[in-house]
Every structure is written in structure tokens, then in C-alpha cells.
Amino acid sequence: MRRSRKVKILATIGPASSEEAMLKKLFEAGADVFRINMSHADHDLMRTLVGRIRSVEAAVGRPIGILADLQGPKLRVGKFVNGKEELKVGQTFTLDDNPELGDSNRVHLPHPEILRSVAVGDRLLIDDGKVELKAVKVDGRSIVATVVVGTKISDKKGVSLPDTELPVGALTEKDRADLDAVLAAGVDWVALSFIQRPEDLAEARKIARGRALLLSKIEKPQAVARLAEIIELSDALMVARGDLGVELPLEAVPGIQKQITRAARRAGKPVVVATQMLESMISAPVPTRAEVSDVATAVFEGADAIMLSAESAAGSYPVEAVATMNRIAERVERDPTYAGIINAQRSEPEATGADAISLAAREIAETLKLSAIVTYTASGTTGLRAARERPQVPIIALSPILATARRLSLLWGTHCVVSEDATDLDDMVDRACRIASEQGFGKAGDRIIITAGVPLRTPGSTNMLRIAYLGSDVRQ
């Protein structure tokens, strides 16, 4: 099955989409990668879902990526005597280390790291920003704050800290247990939540040891401020607009989305745009016009993937949501302005032989109007470099390693095929031509361009270009 678009679709699995038959329908509607949210899935359910996805993969004969999204630290206030309390704007309200039930003047905050880190003037956002507090006095054991916004607070509501960097890592004990479980189950990508600094990736990378690639979710102002460093240590990024919109002004999020997307493209790292893309389709069979424009904007930006959350996980129309996103993406990529916008955002290649080869492959393919760029890749690096160029022609990534093909299913414009490794240069060309023809990328007499590393099976050695004719022994 060949997609008629370059951007990929990442669909979250949940109660509405966990059965194997529904997963197959979602793939057929356009889903390329499936997300398992570990905030809602225990280990047994996760393993069951991975097994079902792999069964669908075998049935459709296409590599399918799996992303496990770790919950990350969940910071919450304690409980109240009455379950909830009324607040007044301007009053003082205290968060402290006293475990007694709260009232209208105070509540327990069971996170000593927050009590030690918040400074006078820092904001604390409760319940997704419905309540905003501003610290006026701190002593390491309590935070006395003024109520700036909001009049209601209740049990166990979440706390966000847009002005405070906490001296704790991004992995909780639950995350460590979940990480071990998803790696053992063979997922392809692991998403890390609430990244604040590049050091937050170190522990996860040490545990993963290359068994899965790491995707950093950018959802905190601290991460935006250190974006370049985080990109360097990440394998991919996600613009997690939900929490970004809590901790930053909503009007700032679209600009930050563009900033993150373009920075990731410059670095050649996949970038996913997520959260509320087709939110109304949780309960309606069609999206709003604004949601269609939102999806289209991400496609015009050249994002590698666009994501569905509750729309596919818990909504009433999961298949329709995926199909709608697929149609929007296809129409945008056919728009006469699309190629020009994508080209205008293209960055200069790095001064490496592999980047120069990828640039040359794109320019030759577009100048000669070739049918496809075929890349041989064992580690996936060659495929990443080819996708970074955002060529107008399709990219066929051939890999002898199934795990590599699954990982590259998140990558813009890349059609992944698992193939035995070539034995020599002639076999490499013959194999590329045969697969391009079989996969529907051209007919006899059409031409493709092939990139690979010589000697063969040498990781990171992309150094060769070859133009070949489909269905013919004539080569150049």
C-alpha cells in the first residue's frame, strides 16, 4: 500500500480503537504510526496492543511504527476537606508540606521539589491554568501566593510551573518501569514528557541503549528556551501544544510551533505536531473549518507527522478522523503553493559527504523529473538525510532491518520497504529498480536515482549516486 501524501499520520490508540479489526481500519484510512499513551495503559494492555499492531503489520505487509508515550511527572495539589473550595481574586492562598486536608486558605502540596524551587514572583497554574497564583513569600516548606485568576480549586488538580525549573529529571519511577516494559515489547519510538533541559534525555538514552529512538515533547517554556540543545540530543521532537498553551500565552503557541518545526527541519530530525488538531471530531463526524486550517498549516510547514489524540483514542469517529486528516494532507500537498512554501523553508546542507549526496540526489531527481529517490539504509541515517531535503519526488527507503523500516515510518515522504541486503552494486541497482516498480513508483522506461554507501553494509558511508531505468538493463 502506497500513500498519496508525504506527511505521516500518528494515531493514538484507546478504548475506541484498541481492537485489531479497528487498528486495521485506521491503517487503511491513513494511520502510519500508532501511539500508546502510558498514562492510560498498563503493561499488560500495552503488550496486547503491540501484539495487535504487529498482527496488522503482517496482514497488510507494510512496516508500522509504534510510539510509547511516557507519562512524565504529574504534579498535583492534595485534597480538601470539602473536596473543593471557593477562592477570591486577590486573596492569599498557601501551598505547604502539611499533609492535612486543605481549606479556602491552604492546601497540601506533596512535592518538596516545588516548595524548594519556587521563587517570589513565580507563577503557579492550577487545573490547566483555570487558577493562577503568584508567589509572594517562600521558605522551602510553604509557598504563600496571591490569587491572580480563578475562583475554584478542587482535589488533586494539576500544577504547572511556567517560571520555575525543577531540579528533578523527566523520568519518574513509573516512567522507568514503563520504559523497561515498552523496550522489552519492541516499540520503535519512546516519547518523553515534560522535558526541561537536555540533561533530561540522558537517563532514558542510557536505559534505551538504542533499542528505541527518543522523541522529546516540547511542552514547557524551559524546553523552548533550550531548544537547540534538546534537538541535538533528541532523535525527534513533538510540538505538544496542549501544555504549551497552559504555560505560555495561547497567542504565542502558533509562533513557537513554527520555531520548533523549522529548527527540527534544519537539524534533520523528525517533528510531530500534536494536540487538538481535529478535536471536534471526538463527538462530530466532521471537523470545523478552523481545525482543517490548523492541520493544513502543519502540512504547509513541512512537519514530518501530524497527530490525533482523543479523536482516534476515545472519540465516536476514529476512522473518520484519520480519513479526514488524510484527505486534508493530500489536498494541501497538491496545492500549487505547497512546493514553493516547502522549498522556501529548506536549509543549507551540512558540510558532509552524505549531506552533499542527499542534496545532489534531490536536485537531480527534480531536474530530470525522476520517479523516485531510492536510499539503502541500515541505521536509518541515509533516509533521514534524504527526507531533510524535502524532495518533490517520493523517497523509497530500503533496509534489511525491520526495526529501521518501522522507525522510518514516522519520516516525511519516506516509503519504507524491508529488503534483503544487496550483494554487490549490480544487485543493488537491480533490486532498487524491481522494488520501485513493484511498489507502484514507476513503469518500464521511467528512471530513479539510487543513493547508497560503498563499501556496502558500512553504516554512515553514503557516498554514491546512480541513475537507473525501470524495467531495463540500461543504466547510467
Among all residues, which ones are annotated catalytic?
Answer: 35, 76, 217, 275
Residue 118: closest CA among 68, 80, 75, 176:
75
CA–CA distance, 175 with 39 (Å, rounded to integer): 9
